């Protein structure tokens, strides 16, 4: 056998067939692998997309609870809303008057300037109450000037702590089943009402009237000194603790000065978060009623000569600075038919022409806008052009925290964008979060919009330590609790 005979080879046809079959197998295998990888790639992209959506959802919800976009306790560079005064921000003086020394929503109370501190002897801007028993009757009425207001508040000795819920000053004094109309005012905090140490709520046929004191009862009417009697549409309301001779005199209600201080400290949004619920933010009347209002210094003379209706004393007076910033109504012209006036503004009617108010306001993080604009907008939310509450959507767009959660993603990854907006509309807080992602393959956009309940601004301030970082909370009245931004 020759060597050739021993070599078992292939014919050309065999080779061609083998190559063809091999190629076919390889093509099929390649296609299978390619399809598998493409499928996996698509699945991966979908997975990343879903993951981005989940991440956005989680970040949005955590932001609802921790407010780190507006104030990050771990990053001093992101704590610009802790400034005490706008003068300290970017060297731009938005407000220069001493009484307009404003804090921003995350200001630490300890950092407030002396005029607004509540340390012993300080006037205390805080939203807490004064002790009117420290004041004489004359002192209550001697509040014509701002300086005097501060002095009086100082004399009242502000409490340095927010009220506990078991403090009677915080309790709702009305009937929970009051009808939803008319006489509800007696069931609300008379925030601007209690300018007297011992007010009386209502008497006889005058439900809801807050009287100066129990000595003003009409002749012949039985009076129990110090015990408040309110008459509602369905009979007498339960007596109230105010002035109960057996209790320490704790006649605390909210006061316009306190609101003003709150505005100075926190701005409108923050003040609303610290007010008692049910706060009455504005009280005013018709022309006939307003004509009876005791003006500053006129009260004693008015009572003496019979021209002043005593029961209205103490209910009415709203500092216009407060009024402008915290109320949202813009339609007084029709409401009062031109006859009304806002108490505290004396003869000036608040109408569309002279009251340019916005009825919502929002918080936003310092971003592309100048800080001066931000502060101006934040501090004075009603100063812009008159708007209607139905147009707030555009404002939401302009006042939203926006963050691109994937700043440098791979080119085939979806883009993710998160927006969180906090606002206040008609006295109600709302939060809106929007998670939007774009599929880079199909260029399709999808978004998830949600609202939710989470930490309020007051809660966020209590999360933050007075001296930096996060505050630890172990329990009520636990001495290990870290002092928070709310503690001096």
DSSP per-residue string spanning 184-249: GGGGSB-TTT--SSS-EEEETTEEEEEES-GGGPPTT----TT-EEEEETTEEEEEESTT-TTS--
Paired with 211 in beta bridges are 200
**Scanning the structure block, which residue is given the tokens 């085939």?**
412
3 state SS of 61: helix
Among residues 288, 394, 408, 479, the one that binds another protein under rule CB under 8 A: 288
Which region, judged by CB under 8 A, interacts with another protein, from 84-92, 214-222, 234-242, 369-377? Answer: 234-242
DSSP 441: T
Which region, judged by CB under 8 A, interacts with another protein, from 123-131, 239-247, 360-368, 373-381? Answer: 239-247
**Scanning the structure block, which residue is given the tokens 């080779």?**
15
Among residues 76, 98, 218, 238, the one that binds another protein under rule CB under 8 A: 238
Among residues 282, 317, 364, 466, the one that binds another protein under rule CB under 8 A: 282
322-361 residues in contact with another protein (CB under 8 A) are 326-329, 331, 334-337, 339-340
Among residues 150, 189, 299, 392, the one that binds another protein under rule CB under 8 A: 189
Q: CB-wise, 161 or 397, nearer to another protein? A: 161
Answer yes or no whether residue 66 interacts with another protein by CB under 8 A: yes
Answer yes or no whether residue 478 interacts with another protein by CB under 8 A: yes
Answer yes or no whether residue 165 interacts with another protein by CB under 8 A: yes
Among residues 16, 21, 24, 43, the one that binds another protein under rule CB under 8 A: 43
In whole angstroms, the minimum distance from the beta carbon of 200 to another protein comes to 13
Among residues 143, 273, 313, 377, the one that binds another protein under rule CB under 8 A: 273
Binding mask 290-329 for another protein (x = CB under 8 A): --x-------------------x--x----------xxxx
In whole angstroms, the minimum distance from the beta carbon of 76 to another protein comes to 19
To 5 degrees, how large is the angle CA 425–CA 430–CA 435? 130
Burial class (CB in 10 A: 0-12, 13-18, 19+), 469: exposed
Buried b (16+ CB within 10 A) or exposed e, 397-428: eebbbbbebbeeeeeebbbbbbbbbbbbeeee
72-101 residues in contact with another protein (CB under 8 A) are none
413-472 residues in contact with another protein (CB under 8 A) are 426-428, 452-456, 458-460, 462-463, 470, 472
Answer yes or no whether residue 39 interacts with another protein by CB under 8 A: yes
In whole angstroms, the minimum distance from the beta carbon of 203 to another protein comes to 11
Asked if residues 282 and 318 have their Cβ atoms less than 8 Å apart, the reply is yes
Measured between alpha carbons, how far is residue 35 from residues 39, 42, 74, 136, 147 in Å?
Answer: 6, 10, 47, 89, 80
In whole angstroms, the minimum distance from the beta carbon of 410 to another protein comes to 16
DSSP 470: B
């Amino acid at each position: 056998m020759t060597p050739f005979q021993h070599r078992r080879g292939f014919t050309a046809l065999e080779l061609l067939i083998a190559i063809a079959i091999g190629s076919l197998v390889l093509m099929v295998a390649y296609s299978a692998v390619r399809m598998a990888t493409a499928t996996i790639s698509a699945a991966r992209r979908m997975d990343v997309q879903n993951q981005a959506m989940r991440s956005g959802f989680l970040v949005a919800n955590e932001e609802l609870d921790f407010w780190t976009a507006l104030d990050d306790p771990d990053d001093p560079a992101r704590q610009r809303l802790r400034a005490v005064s706008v003068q300290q921000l970017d060297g731009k003086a938005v407000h220069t008057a001493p009484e307009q020394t404003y804090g921003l929503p995350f200001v630490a109370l300890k950092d407030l300037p002396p005029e607004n501190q509540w340390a012993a002897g300080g006037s205390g801007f805080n939203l807490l109450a004064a002790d009117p028993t420290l004041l004489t009757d004359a002192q209550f009425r001697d509040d014509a000037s701002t300086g005097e207001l501060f002095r009086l508040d100082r004399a009242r000795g502000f409490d340095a702590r927010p009220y506990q819920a078991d403090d009677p000053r915080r309790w709702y004094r009305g009937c929970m089943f009051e009808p939803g109309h008319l006489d509800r005012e007696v069931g609300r905090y008379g925030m601007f009402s209690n300018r007297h140490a011992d007010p009386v709520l209502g008497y006889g046929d005058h439900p809801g009237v807050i009287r100066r004191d129990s000595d003003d009862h009409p002749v012949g009417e039985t009076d129990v000194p110090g015990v408040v009697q309110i008459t509602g549409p369905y009979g007498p309301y339960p007596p109230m603790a105010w002035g109960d001779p057996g209790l320490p005199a704790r006649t605390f209600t909210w006061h316009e000065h306190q609101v003003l201080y709150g505005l100075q400290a926190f701005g409108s949004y923050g003040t609303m978060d610290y007010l008692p619920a049910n706060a009455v933010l504005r009280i005013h009347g018709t022309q006939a009623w307003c004509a009876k209002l005791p003006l500053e210094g006129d009260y004693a003379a008015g009572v003496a000569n019979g021209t002043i209706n005593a029961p209205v004393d103490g209910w009415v007076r709203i500092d216009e600075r407060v009024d402008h910033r915290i109320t949202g109504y813009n339609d007084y012209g029709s409401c009062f038919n031109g006859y009304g006036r806002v108490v505290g503004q004396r003869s000036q009617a608040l109408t569309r022409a002279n009251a340019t108010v916005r009825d919502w306001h929002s918080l936003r993080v310092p971003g592309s806008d100048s800080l001066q604009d931000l502060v101006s907008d934040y501090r004075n939310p009603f100063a812009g052009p008159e708007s209607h509450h139905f147009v707030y959507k555009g404002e939401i767009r302009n006042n939203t925290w926006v963050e691109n959660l994937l700043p440098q993603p791979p080119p085939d990854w979806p883009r993710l964008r998160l927006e969180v907006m906090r606002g206040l509309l008609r006295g109600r807080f709302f939060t809106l979060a929007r998670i939007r992602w774009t599929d880079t393959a199909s260029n399709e956009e999808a978004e998830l919009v949600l609202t939710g309940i989470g930490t309020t601004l007051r809660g966020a301030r209590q999360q933050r330590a007075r001296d930096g970082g996060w505050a630890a909370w172990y329990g009520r009245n636990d001495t290990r609790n870290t002092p928070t931004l709310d503690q001096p």
